[in-house]
């Protein structure tokens, strides 16, 4: 069985990655935005799919991607090098804390993360899946404390999380960041939300709230989902 996922403009090999391409990643890659971004940071890039989608969407942008898992980082680097956007993508196979130390004077117009989403829960017996799926409160505290220092004045920080974890992040962000957009994601129209896409910035604005439904019916994608992903997925 092939481990390569084919997009319209690039391929993603996910053979060695603990977290495979999923709906969360492609939703964030297709949605996250900032005003005329020139620099982008992808925290926990995994396969590199979000960075690749952003490189397609913003052709003038330079993108840094950080990944702590060495096997995933190697695969992501290969995916970058095999893409049409190779000269604009840089992979850093280190922990985000070490990356912050290297880039103390760097600012980004757009920072994105599809982070480990289980907060302080039972962990996977496989270490790489633990890193990919589970995080402590300290991880998110450090993330929300550091992001403001690396965000440009009008920049945006986008993150996708389960509902409970999103509530924690919104509370942590109140000290330095303002919630600018909140998109509640559900599988079907009348289902409760299972994910939130959140956008934060340094400037206080009126928060824009929206809903997003993935399916119109069983195995039938909604028009919103098709429209959002039509430039990326070969099924549309």
- Give 127's contacts (C-beta < 8 A, 6+ positions apart): none
User: In sequence order, what E strands does 1-98 have?
Assistant: 4-6, 11-13, 39-43, 62-66, 89-92
Q: How far apart are the first and last CA of the chain?
A: 23
Q: Which domains does the chain have, with CATH numbers?
A: 4-229 (3.40.50.150)
Asked whether the whole model's pTM tops 0.85, one would answer yes
CB contact burial 91-121 (16+ within 10 A = b; e otherwise)? bbbbebeebbeebeeeebbbbbbbbbbbbee
- State the pLDDT at residue 135: 59
Counting as low any pLDDT under 50, the low residues of the chain are 121-134
Question: Closest Cα partner for 199 from 113, 79, 119?
Answer: 113
- State the pLDDT at residue 20: 82
- State the pLDDT at residue 123: 44
Task: Look up residue 43 and give its two tokens.
Answer: 């925290």
**CA-CA distance, 59 to 79, in Å (whole number)?**
17
- State the pLDDT at residue 128: 44
- Give 1's contacts (C-beta < 8 A, 6+ positions apart): none
pLDDT single digits (tens) 32-65: 999 999 999 999 999 999 999 999 999 999 999 9
**CA-CA distance, 104 to 106, in Å (whole number)?**
6
- State the pLDDT at residue 122: 38
134-135/118-119 β-pairing: parallel
Task: Look up residue 150 and give its two tokens.
Answer: 């690396």
Task: Look up residue 4 and give its two tokens.
Answer: 């390569």
């Amino acid at each position: 069985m092939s481990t390569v996922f084919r997009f319209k403009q690039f391929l993603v090999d996910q053979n060695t990655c603990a977290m495979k391409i999923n709906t969360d990643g492609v939703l964030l890659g297709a949605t996250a935005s900032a005003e005329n971004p020139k620099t982008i940071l992808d925290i926990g890039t995994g396969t590199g799919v979000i960075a690749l989608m952003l490189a397609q969407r913003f052709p003038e942008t330079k993108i840094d991607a950080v990944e702590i898992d060495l096997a995933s980082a190697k695969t992501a680097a290969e995916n970058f090098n095999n893409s049409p956007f190779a000269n604009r993508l840089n992979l850093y196979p280190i922990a985000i804390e070490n990356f912050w130390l290297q880039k103390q004077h760097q600012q980004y117009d757009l920072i994105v993360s599809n982070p480990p989403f289980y907060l302080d829960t039972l962990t996977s017996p496989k270490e790489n899946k633990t890193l990919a799926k589970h995080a402590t409160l300290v991880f998110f505290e450090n993330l929300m404390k550091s992001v403001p220092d690396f965000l440009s004045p009008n920049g945006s920080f986008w993150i996708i999380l389960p509902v409970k974890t999103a509530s924690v992040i919104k509370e942590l962000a109140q000290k330095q960041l303002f919630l600018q957009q909140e998109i509640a994601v559900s599988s079907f129209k009348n289902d409760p939300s299972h994910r939130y896409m959140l956008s934060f910035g340094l400037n206080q604005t009126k928060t824009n709230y929206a809903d997003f439904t993935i399916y119109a019916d069983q195995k039938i994608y909604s028009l919103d989902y098709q429209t959002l992903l039509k430039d990326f997925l070969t099924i549309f």
